[in-house]
Amino acid sequence: MSREINGIVKGWEATVRKSSGAKKRANNIFTPMFVAHVDDDKSTEVCQVEKILPNGDFYIGQWLERYPHGQGKYLWTDGCMYVGEWSKGTNMGNGRFSWPSGATYEGEFKSGNMDGRGTYIGSNGDTYKGSWVMNLKHGQGIESYPNGDFYDGEWRKGLQNGHGRYQWKNGNQYIGQWRSGVFCGNGTMMWSTGNRYDGCWAEGLPKGNGTFRWGDGSFYVGVWSQDPKEQSGTYYSSRSSDDHMDRDPHDVFKVELNDFQICPCEKVAIYPSQKTLSVCGKEDDNKPVHKKRTDESGRPWWTSEDGRVSNYNSKNRSYAFDVGRKSRFSSLGDHSILSRNSLDCLRIKNPKRQGETISKGHKNYELMLNLQLGIRHSVGRPAPSASLDLKSSAFDPKEKVWTRFPPEGSKHTPPHPSCEFRWKDYCPVVFRALRKLFKVDPADYMISICGNDALRELSSPGKSGSFFYLTNDECYMIKTMKKAEVKVFLRMLPTYYKHVWAFENTLVTKFFGLYCVRQTGATQKKVRFVIMGNLFCSKYVIHRRFDLKGSTFGRTTNKPESEIEPTTTLKDLDLNFIFRLQKSWFQEFCRQVERDCDFLEQERIMDYSMLVGLHFKETTSVGTIAPSCHSSTSCTTPTGVDDGLPHLSGVDANHFIIDPSRRIQLGVNMPAKAEMTTRKSTSDTPRLVGEPTGKFYEIIIFFGIIDILQDYDISKKLEHAYKSFQYDSTSISAVDPRLYSKRFRDFIFGVFVEDT
């Protein structure tokens, strides 16, 4: 049997080398030793095994219970191979991963991810040597491109970011600041011809103050921009030059910078952490029972006998369970979780789709059509490229555009089936710049709001009387506004713009547009809208959501646990958790909350809240969530929970992307821990933050500051005076912005703590 398996291994290696065309052979980490075939996995000691796994994968190396543990080699049926150190079924330590294309990574691994120092050699010759965090280049690193270009400098989230030097094959080079893969900040471009530019850059081009020197000694000093109207400066001719004619600095953009392109890095086909390991165990464990079912669209899907979702592949007979797995190699069912103390488990209901679809016949159907027509017109209207450096005139409240939409259409508007209406676009230049700042693609924005799918109206208006609409893809939320709120928003728009531009991780609501529809008829009804980002737009299901202000009066839903839906918004006195963030995340969180609260306090804003959404990772098929552990020191992120994304590791957890389409940032897609608390009140005023119980839950957390358009006007002052006669003035929401800000911070910093 041993000879047969050794033959299979050699055949596998020959196939991989042949398909990859790799120039270098993998270093064999195994020394000559006695290899025994192990049929009994019950041993608690590390032993040497050779295994052909149920789906055809092959493993040879050290084994502990049901996991690869120690040194080992794993060969997948698709040609991928990992040779190196393992820790209970997870790539951990030094190792080498190779792809069928011939690409290889050799270096450090953490929790299955390329993390630490390592070298990646792409199939096309693209080579990177440096630091990695969560499968992405992050930190100091050197990249050699297949076309002969070279980069040495700092990286962040897989892109050049910070200070670095890029040298082209022809000898030209740039030394300076980078941001998201392009020149941005102060930097120097040097041409092999002797020309040189020193100054400011933005989006890969000179922007702002700078000096361009020609090889003959002449130079131009001034403000640089692609727009000739914004460019100004002085040309100084060289005394040694025979050419006394002024040179056009715009030729620099047309000629000198024309051929400067950054070579793209080769994309990793599949991350090592995304490779599912075959389920191992007893003979019976390797034959899971599956039941065929259908989803809402009628397509077949499969569940195991214990009810967990499976992506069974009939072609290669592989199984990968997505919910409730404790390890990539675990064959345990939900009964292992349910056997715990049932009092430790939370129960959740299946989430329902929020809102009512606005179809024909709905009372707001025409209003929705007006909104979609207006936004399509505003966003699609031809306009110059939005600059982030705006003039003060762009923020003038009088800066608005009225457009008439007759049913038969006009020169600028299409015909439509709705009644005639007028459309107002407030400060269009500012909101175009905000969408650019927030990296919102105009086409995606229009498709989400104005595509073929109807909007959904949330079941009931908010406390303010505003109605909320949700796009079908749940990326954007549309809120109706009162005239007073619009005035507050326009008043604070300049400082809001400066704030979100200055702080990339701001937690305040992201606004993308402010509009007004005036319908014709006897009422001449005006409806004002603001379009915001939906904080809970994610592939994760939100199991619990909280709206937290730091006050106690009226801050409870008074619902028993059995009536709480995933869409129910709970309040301060319903909160039974504290949230533990990794140190680096927690420090950034504290800094950003301070900045955001200072901004809102200066704008005399109050009554805002922290909206928090929780996705519990270890959810069983029967809707229970069991605590992952009972002590902070022993509670670690399970490396095998297959939520589709790798987990945090190291102190640089706040500087990476899981993949290009799912970015983790402060308040979005953040892995954390929720510790259950109990609230014991010994006075008339209940405690806002309960006592920790030591029961932890692994979560993905979302949070942001919402409702930031309520200023402390006369109505709020009267509300404060009236309620202060009846209740403790510190327990009500309507208080002075300075007091509100302090109370909010104290409460939030008690709910969010550092994970020690």
**Model confidence over 648-678: pLDDT tens digits?**
333 333 333 333 334 568 989 899 999 988 8
Query: pLDDT per residue over 233-262, tens digit each?
Result: 777 776 655 554 566 666 676 666 666 778
Give the confidence band of 319 by pLDDT, cuts at 50, 70, 90. Answer: very low
- The per-residue pLDDT for 195 is 84
Estimate the crossing angle of helix 737-751 against helix 583-602, to 10 degrees.
170
Does 31 fall in a domain? Answer: no
**Predicted TM-score of the model (pTM):** 0.53
Which residue carries 């309507």 as its tokens?
A: 734
The verdict on 481 and 388 lying in the same domain is yes
Query: pLDDT per residue over 143-173, tens digit each?
Result: 999 888 889 999 988 889 889 999 888 888 8
Give the confidence band of 693 by pLDDT, cuts at 50, 70, 90. Answer: confident
DSSP secondary structure string for all residues of 320-387: -B-SS-SSTT----THHHHTS-GGG-EE-PPP---SEE--TTSTTHHHHHHHHHHHHHHHHS--PPPP
Q: Last residue of a domain, which of 194, 217, 237?
A: 237
- The per-residue pLDDT for 291 is 36
- The per-residue pLDDT for 314 is 36
Q: Which residues contact 557 (CB under 8 A, 6 or more apart)?
A: 564, 568, 569, 570, 571, 574
Give me the mean pLDDT over the 80-98 stretch.
88
Does 81 fall in a domain? Answer: yes
Q: Is the pLDDT of residue 51 over 80?
A: yes
Q: Identify the domain containing residue 190 by its residue range.
A: 169-237
Percent of the chain past pLDDT 90, that is, above it, reads 20
Q: Last residue of a domain, which of 237, 261, 287?
A: 237
* 211, 221 Cβ separation under 8 angstroms: yes
Q: Which residues contact 725 (CB under 8 A, 6 or more apart)?
A: none
- The per-residue pLDDT for 197 is 85
Q: How far is CA 656 from the centre of its chain?
A: 9
* 618, 626 Cβ separation under 8 angstroms: yes
Burial class of residue 244 (count of CB atoms within 10 Å of its CB; 0-12, 13-18, 19+)? exposed
Q: At 522, which CATH number?
A: 3.30.800.10
The verdict on 393 and 514 lying in the same domain is yes
Q: Is the pLDDT of residue 84 over 50?
A: yes
The verdict on 205 and 84 lying in the same domain is no
The verdict on 604 and 677 lying in the same domain is yes
Q: Which residues contact 142 (CB under 8 A, 6 or more apart)?
A: 128, 129, 130, 150, 151, 152
Give me the mean pLDDT over the 707-715 stretch.
75
Neighbouring C-beta atoms of residue 18, cutoff 10 Å: 10
437 three-class SS: helix
Alpha helices per DSSP H over 21-165: none
Nearest residue to 218 via CA among 183, 188, 249, 253: 249
Q: Is the pLDDT of residue 312 over 60?
A: no
Nearest residue to 741 via CA among 611, 612, 610, 613: 610
| Cα gap 424→405, rounded to integer Å | 11
Burial class of residue 349 (count of CB atoms within 10 Å of its CB; 0-12, 13-18, 19+)? middle
- Kindly report the three-state secondary structure assignment for every residue of 663-732: ECECCECEEEEEEEEECCCCCCCCCCCCEEEEEEEEEEEEEEEECCCCECCHHHHHHHHHHHHHCCCCCC
**Half-sphere exposure (Cβ direction) of 394: Cα atoms closer than 13 Å:** 17
The verdict on 409 and 505 lying in the same domain is yes
- The per-residue pLDDT for 592 is 95
* β-sheet with 309-310: strand ranges across: 290-294, 300-304, 309-310
Give me the mean pLDDT over the 380-394 stretch.
79
Q: Is the pLDDT of residue 375 over 60?
A: yes
- The per-residue pLDDT for 683 is 54
| Cα gap 490→425, rounded to integer Å | 12
CA distances from 296 to 286, 415, 511 (A): 30, 36, 34
The verdict on 465 and 546 lying in the same domain is no
- The per-residue pLDDT for 128 is 93
Q: Last residue of a domain, which of 192, 222, 237?
A: 237
* 263, 145 Cβ separation under 8 angstroms: yes
Does 325 fall in a domain? Answer: no
Q: Which residues contact 18 (CB under 8 A, 6 or more apart)?
A: none
Could you tell me the two tokens for 129? 């040597």
Number of H helices, E strands in the chain: 10, 39
Q: At 114, which CATH number?
A: 2.20.110.10
Give the confidence band of 34 by pLDDT, cuts at 50, 70, 90. Answer: very low
Q: Is the pLDDT of residue 21 over 50?
A: no
The verdict on 80 and 53 lying in the same domain is yes
Which residue carries 């510190």 as its tokens?
A: 730
Average pLDDT, the chain: 75
Question: Between the ranges 304-313, 416-425, 521-530, where is the mean pLDDT highest?
Answer: 416-425
The verdict on 134 and 200 lying in the same domain is no
Does 319 fall in a domain? Answer: no
The verdict on 525 and 553 lying in the same domain is no
Does 681 fall in a domain? Answer: yes
Does 124 fall in a domain? Answer: yes
| Cα gap 101→567, rounded to integer Å | 45
Q: Which residues contact 53 (CB under 8 A, 6 or more apart)?
A: 59, 277, 278, 280
Question: Between the ranges 287-296, 325-334, 486-495, where is the mean pLDDT highest?
Answer: 486-495
Give the confidence band of 356 by pLDDT, cuts at 50, 70, 90. Answer: confident
| Cα gap 539→240, rounded to integer Å | 65
* 467, 529 Cβ separation under 8 angstroms: no
Neighbouring C-beta atoms of residue 656, cutoff 10 Å: 25
CA distances from 187 to 291, 473, 722 (A): 61, 41, 59
Percent of the chain past pLDDT 70, that is, above it, reads 71
Q: Is the pLDDT of residue 232 over 90?
A: no
Amino acid identity at 595 = R
Does 8 fall in a domain? Answer: no
Give me the mean pLDDT over the 720-740 stretch.
64
The count of domains in the chain is: 4
The verdict on 81 and 175 lying in the same domain is no
Give the confidence band of 489 by pLDDT, cuts at 50, 70, 90. Answer: very high
* 105, 97 Cβ separation under 8 angstroms: yes
Give the confidence band of 420 by pLDDT, cuts at 50, 70, 90. Answer: confident
The verdict on 67 and 125 lying in the same domain is yes
572 three-class SS: helix
Amino acid identity at 92 = M
Does 727 fall in a domain? Answer: yes
Strands of 168-277, DSSP E: 173-179, 182-190, 196-202, 205-213, 219-224, 232-236
| Cα gap 212→552, rounded to integer Å | 62
Q: At 713, which CATH number?
A: 3.30.810.10
The verdict on 437 and 375 lying in the same domain is yes
